[in-house]
Amino acid sequence: MFAHLIQDPPKNFVEDPAPPVVPDAAGQLPRLASTFTDVDGLYYFTIVVCIFFFVLIAGVLAYTVVAHRRKTIDQAPASNATHNTPLEVVWTVVPLIIVMVMFAWGFKGSIDMTTVPVDARWYKATAKQWNWTFTYPNSTQESYGELWLEVDKNAAFVLESTDVLHAFYMPSMRVKRDVIPGRNQTVWFRPTEVGVYHLFCAEYCGNDHSRMYAKVNVVTAEQYASKPPPWVKWDDSTPSAAAASAEKQIYRTLCLACHTTNGAQLVGPSWTNLFVRQADGTVVGAQREVVVAGQRQTITVDEAYIAESIRKPDAKKVIGFENLPMAAFALDDQKIKGLVEFMKTLAPAAK
């Protein structure tokens, strides 16, 4: 078991964690960035109670040890009291009252923390050994190891595990919930401060438990609503990466309802026959019958045609779909290129 002791030096925790937690004024908890003020209030209340009792106990002991130290072997105790009923009632009843206050306060706080508000936005956090995947409302794009939330909006999460137990823990938000395979757990909070925060896995889950980390960006409403949203990262490093980005972020959100990728016809033409794959593997534009200003034409599909059909759908209408309207989409060239790459992946082999 000690085989790796020297040969396999441990790697860093995470390449790029969130900035260090800023402690609150009392220096104990991270500065609260959600609305769960009961946690902090109750924490400091119990701390004060604890310090009071600790000082009481330590003080009494310190005094009596100094004052009543045995100096000769036959020294008798200064008191032989074995009972004091009023005192015993006090030290039973007073702590009982105090802990009942703590109990009620804690229970009230936990009810708030486990009751998801009706207006919450629902996200999904999927935990597996050893990373986090997040999905967003009204977006097909997932993000990995990093999460974006809008400030002052209630965020609720469905928590799913695909393997073992994990726990969703954000110290700055004061939330923790176990993620249990085979169950849907939920957790919610309302981030109140823009910033970047830690999300830890708090339930031991195997080798890289300590590296199961996500960075949570709480951003302003404008940043959150920007197009594309901040969690969307367009990858056009290779044609196939661009095709994958376009499929996930454009096709599945915008095009899927009218255009199939398997030849079936919906209200718009399927995308299967836009390009053809030739015997030597190259993909070229297919021939297509269209209506331009009332005239039939045959054109060769290329990037300019695709761009025009997306930005100005009425310019060239495909035969058979002349009377079906399509909304215009103002996609930039990068997105168009990605879509073209995606369409090329659908090309059938030339006959």
Positions in 194-223 near another protein (CB under 8 A): 198, 200-211, 213
76 sits near another protein (criterion: CB under 8 A): yes
Coil/strand/helix, residue 166: strand
Q: Which of residues 104-163 bind another protein (CB under 8 A)?
A: 105-114, 163
Q: Which of residues 8-37 bind another protein (CB under 8 A)?
A: 8, 10-14, 17-18, 20-21, 23, 27-30, 36
Q: What are the phi and psi torsion angles at 164 (to 5°)?
A: -115, -170
**Nearest approach, Cβ of residue 207 and another protein (Å):** 5
Q: Which of residues 264-303 bind another protein (CB under 8 A)?
A: none
Q: Which residues contact 12 (CB under 8 A, 6 or more apart)?
A: none
73 versus 293: smaller Cβ distance to another protein: 73
Stretch that binds another protein, among 79-87, 120-128, 134-142, 287-295 (CB under 8 A): 79-87
189 versus 342: smaller Cβ distance to another protein: 189
**Nearest approach, Cβ of residue 193 and another protein (Å):** 16
C-alpha 32, offset from chain centre:
18
According to DSSP, residue 323 is labeled T
**Nearest approach, Cβ of residue 69 and another protein (Å):** 5
89 sits near another protein (criterion: CB under 8 A): no
How far is it, in rounded angstroms, from Cα 198 to Cα 215?
Answer: 5
**Nearest approach, Cβ of residue 332 and another protein (Å):** 37
Q: Given its phi and psi angles, is residue 138 left (phi above 0), alpha (psi -120 to 50 degrees) or beta?
A: left
**Nearest approach, Cβ of residue 258 and another protein (Å):** 40
Q: Which of residues 301-340 bind another protein (CB under 8 A)?
A: none
> Of 148, 174, 142, which Cα lies nearest the Cα of 160?
142
**Nearest approach, Cβ of residue 125 and another protein (Å):** 14
DSSP code string of 104-162: HHHHHHHHHHHS--TTPEEEEEEEETTEEEEE-TT----EESEEEEETTS-EEEEEEES
Q: Given its phi and psi angles, is residue 68 left (phi above 0), alpha (psi -120 to 50 degrees) or beta?
A: alpha
